[in-house]
Structure 1
Amino acid sequence: MEDGNHPRSSTWHGSSYSVGATSTFLSTVLTFPIYKTIFRQQLHTLTIREASQQLLKEGFAHLYRGLAPPLVAKTVQGTLLFGTQATFQKSLSGNGKVGHWDRCLSGLMSGALEAVLLVPFERIQNILQDGRNNARFPSANSILQEFQSYSTQNRFTFGLYRGFSVILARNALGSALYFSFKEPLRDALSLDGVPGWVPSLVSGSVNGALTSLILYPLSVLVSNMQAGVGKELPKTREVARAVWLQCGGNVSLLYRGASLIILRSCITWGVTTAIHDVLRGQN
């Protein structure tokens, strides 16, 4: 880590924000078809081939349907993830030596803040990606108009912030895990003669994939809670029970889409981590 008195410290946070925004913007565009395939698997317990065929049947015009919300959300997410974590970490360490718990707690707080701000984007994205909503909700604006008709209280619990508690837990834990192991993994892989960006790429890929796999059941739960639109909101426990019964109590069915999660996470977090560390001068 860079010392707080280092000449580069004045631009430290700025570079974290800008690099996070740029890398997540590009990776979101590249991996969106993979993400949409995973979403269909989570929602309908389909195989990769079945989910792909479903998307092909709908046509290319619908392949990138729902891209705008995650594109904006992921760009903001990357900005917040690295920028606010750096700020929280600096406050916790007091410009001294950064410890494991400083990284963990700053990641936890960064993930929680991210969840509060980005739940509405994920909610709209999940509605748009469910093929059953194509006719009823042709655009993000039609979804917002539907939620506008709800009362103030229902607009929060049944509208844009449906599933908030699960997303809060997933994002906070995910960020805490990522930042806890980001630097230790990179340092362990750093060898003489190996370009500095390689350990960052590999560690980011491994770290992102493992974190995504650990929290995958929560993502399945979020997909099933957020895809539907209506004023009836089952409790989280009831949705979890329904998902488990839909999978026939089979863990392997619950983890359908996990193989694509690994691919997407390797690309997204590997590239993001490598670019961030190179521009931060940590290699």
Structure 2
Amino acid sequence: MDTPTGTRRLSSPFDLRPNAPRLVLKFSEVSLPAHSLDTPLEDHFGPIMKGHEVGGTAVDAVRASPQTGVDEWREYVAGGGAALVAITITFPINKTMFRQQVHNISPAEAVRQLRVEGGMHLYRGLLSPLLMKISTQSIMFGSYFQYSRLIQEHTHLTPTYAKLMGAVLAGVSEACMMPLERVQVLMQDSKFHTQFRNTPHALYSIRVYGLREYYRGLSAILLRNCPGNVIFFGSRERIKAALPDTWTTGTYASNISDFFGGAFLGALISTMFYPVNVTKTHLQLQVGGPFLQFRAVFKMLLEERGLRGMFRGVHINYTRSFLSWGIINVSYENLSHLLRHALAEIMSWTRLTIPFSTAPASLDLSPILQGIRGLPIIHTESYVCRLPPGHRFQMRKFRGVFQSLVQDRVIDAKTQVIEPLRASVELAGLAHDTQYVERFYAGETSREEQRRTGFEWSHGLASRVRYETGGTVLSTRISLERGLSCSTGGGTHHAGPDYGSGYCLINDIAVAAMNLIRNDPNFKVLIIDLDVHQGDGTALIFENEPRVFTLSVHAEKNFPFRKQKSDLDLGLEDGLQDNEYLQVLQEHIPVVLDQFRPDFVLYDAGVDVHEADALGRLKLSDNGLWRRDMFILKECMKRGVPTSTVIGGGYDKDLEVLSRRHSIIHRAAIKIHSQMQ
């Protein structure tokens, strides 16, 4: 490679010339001074990296986004839509169970009564439960996420307690729709068939008894709603997280797991509170007259029927709840997913964004940065797409990283997050063969090409890659203005000039670097790649580009087994731990920064160097990752070099643990950014 004077004439402590042999360090050959590089991670953010020792899961976090209010309204809509589907299917079962509760009869007798009354009466009273369920389920899901977020923002409660309080308050809020449930009880009992023509007539008729009449049985409703919500929201995502990957990955498998997760919880909760519902039904069958206490009616029914009688009809209730809540949960997840992506597209049309097909290096970003406070975070829900069942790649980690940061109140979703647009063919073509980009975007890559990437092509996958590439490009443009920014995705360093490889389709790091240098012959970019795998695609793309210095610190014996030549490769022996690894960085990073003197740094903070990573061969701890990231960012910032970070590789079956591990770079960047201010 032709080297301009003063660009790569690097010296001690190691030979960093482009043609220098790859350096392989054994962990027994290096040592660290007694003092540590930085204080531990826990000193700044608490014990957040302890996995299951800390309550709350990233996947169950408050669903926040740059449009937090819009996101919460999505929860309301998805909850109501799920109820519409479920109640229409299960209404006849519910009516059979109701007859058993009221008349203490067998299932066969209840069915016989309904058959005698005829088909015209089978769906009599549907409007009331339909309105009631749509309203209450909408409030249940929407207010839970809204209350949880508000409590976390305005109190010092932990995320676990905030969500617990959110579930209780959602149960109370649901009770505001109690008049509809009250009328549903009246409409389903045959003795009121002639008294009330329909739901509106029943609602109008009981007004003569006053407002309180609409809320007869309120204590029973609260006793059912509040603890039921705590159990449901506290267990829902944990059940899914505990299932094997093959049960939760891919559209079909995910729907099955969502159905059975919701079905199990619904059946469990409805069975636990069945006697409460029986008592509530008897309280609400009375129109006018004195208001009886829940405890008195419960005691009377228990003495009259016995414990077994209080559970008469529970098997039908169990079946109905199993089916109903399975449908609700899977419908909710699908509706939420559809709304999330629809809203993302709509918002991308209406918010200030960067036209990536023509984005010059000198583009004025002041309009988009005007409302940003704190460290800019680049994120979009479009970083996530669906994969086939059992896929090894944790696609949901990109959402999980963002949610863990919001849940722990590390970032403010309203004032720190910017959404990118998709990278065009022209933009991706800065680092790749244009024909390859066009074929990949159009889904025309061969089966062999797809096999090499580890992904089967889909429209969702292509769109995700384009957003991720656009996110890294946007991050670099923002860092030129603000000094530092982080994406919640990126790091696809195995993609080469005309091919994809190892879960990497378009090399977002290379595209971003090319975009930085394309209009300035003197602009220099340093790529620091600390993923456990060598950045072979990046090295190949820039092998003849003197303005970009590629530095890769990786496990020598790990993938890719046929490595390319970076400007500096530090291949490490297996088993390297925190102190030895950090010693390597201390001896090389400052030298490269001082002698190459970059105008910009792109930092791939891969966490597959972690001791628990499924594909790594090194032994870094959580705190080792924190010290690593703090060191890199400090070295860049104290030299005044604008820096952008991407999350790189990381592989763990536990989504929560992996998401929080990836979020260490954002937490370190926020710490550094606050010191800069």
Q: TM-score band (shorter)?
A: 0.7 to 0.9
Q: Is the 8 A contact 1:189 1:203 kept in 2?
A: no
Q: Which of 196, 221, 228 is the matching residue for 1:174? A: 228
- Alpha-carbon distance, 1:98 to partner: 7.4
3-state secondary structure, aligned to 1:137: coil
Q: Is the 8 A contact 2:236 2:265 kept in 1?
A: yes
3-state secondary structure, aligned to 1:149: helix
2:317 is the alignment partner of 1:261: yes
3-state secondary structure, aligned to 2:197: coil
Q: Which of 106, 113, 134 is the matching residue for 2:173? A: 113
- Hey, what does 1:274 align to over in structure 2? 330
More contact order relative to length (CA 8 Å, sep ≥ 6): 1
3-state secondary structure, aligned to 2:245: coil
- Hey, what does 1:90 align to over in structure 2? 149
- Alpha-carbon distance, 1:134 to partner: 1.4
* 1:184-199 to 2 correspondences below 5 Å: 184-192=238-246, 194=248, 195-199=253-257
- Hey, what does 1:156 align to over in structure 2? 211
Q: Which of 81, 86, 89 is the matching residue for 1:22? A: 81
- Alpha-carbon distance, 1:279 to partner: 4.5
- Residues 5 and 252 of structure 1, relative CA distance in 2, 3 Å threshold: closer
* 1:1-283 to 2 correspondences below 5 Å: 1=59, 6=65, 9=68, 11-94=70-153, 99-115=159-175, 117-150=176-209, 155-157=210-212, 159-192=213-246, 194=248, 195-247=253-305, 249=306, 251-281=307-337
- Residues 215 and 22 of structure 1, relative CA distance in 2, 3 Å threshold: same
Per-residue CA shift, 1:151-210, capped at 9, x if unaligned? xxxx133x2111112112211121121111111111112424642233222111111111
Cα distance in 2, alignment partners of residues 107 and 271 from structure 1 = 21
> What is the root-mean-square deviation in Å for CA atoms of aligned residues?
2.5
Q: Relative to structure 2, which stretch is displaced further, 169-178 or 63-72?
A: 169-178
Q: Is the 8 A contact 1:19 1:279 kept in 2?
A: yes
Cα distance in 2, alignment partners of residues 263 and 187 from structure 1 = 25
3-state secondary structure, aligned to 1:273: helix
Cα distance in 1, alignment partners of residues 206 and 62 from structure 2 = 48
Cα distance in 1, alignment partners of residues 127 and 191 from structure 2 = 19
3-state secondary structure, aligned to 1:94: helix
- Alpha-carbon distance, 1:78 to partner: 1.8
Per-residue CA shift, 1:113-161, capped at 9, x if unaligned? 101x1110011110111111112223334433432323xxxx133x211
Cα distance in 2, alignment partners of residues 142 and 15 from structure 1 = 32
Q: Compare CA radii of gyration and give the structure with the larger one.
A: 2
The one-letter amino acid paired with 1:163 is G
Cα distance in 1, alignment partners of residues 315 and 170 from structure 2 = 27
Cα distance in 2, alignment partners of residues 279 and 11 from structure 1 = 14
- Alpha-carbon distance, 1:227 to partner: 1.4
- Alpha-carbon distance, 1:12 to partner: 2.3
The one-letter amino acid paired with 1:40 is R
- Alpha-carbon distance, 1:238 to partner: 2.6
Question: Which structure carries more strand by proportion?
Answer: 2
Compute the TM-score of the two structures, normalised by the length of structure 1. Answer: 0.88
3-state secondary structure, aligned to 1:135: coil
Q: Is the 8 A contact 1:166 1:222 kept in 2?
A: yes
Per-residue CA shift, 1:41-61, capped at 9, x if unaligned? 111111111111111111111
- Alpha-carbon distance, 1:76 to partner: 1.0
- Residues 55 and 98 of structure 1, relative CA distance in 2, 3 Å threshold: farther
Compute the TM-score of the two structures, normalised by the length of structure 2. Answer: 0.38
- Residues 24 and 234 of structure 1, relative CA distance in 2, 3 Å threshold: same
The one-letter amino acid paired with 2:296 is E
Give percent identity, aligned residues only: 28
- Alpha-carbon distance, 1:7 to partner: 5.1
> How many residue pairs get matched?
275
Q: Is the 8 A contact 1:93 1:99 kept in 2?
A: yes
Cα distance in 1, alignment partners of residues 301 and 85 from structure 2 = 33
Cα distance in 1, alignment partners of residues 298 and 247 from structure 2 = 49
Cα distance in 2, alignment partners of residues 224 and 119 from structure 1 = 15
3-state secondary structure, aligned to 1:55: helix
Structure 2 gaps, min length 5: 1-58, 338-383, 385-395, 397-677
- Residues 14 and 190 of structure 1, relative CA distance in 2, 3 Å threshold: farther
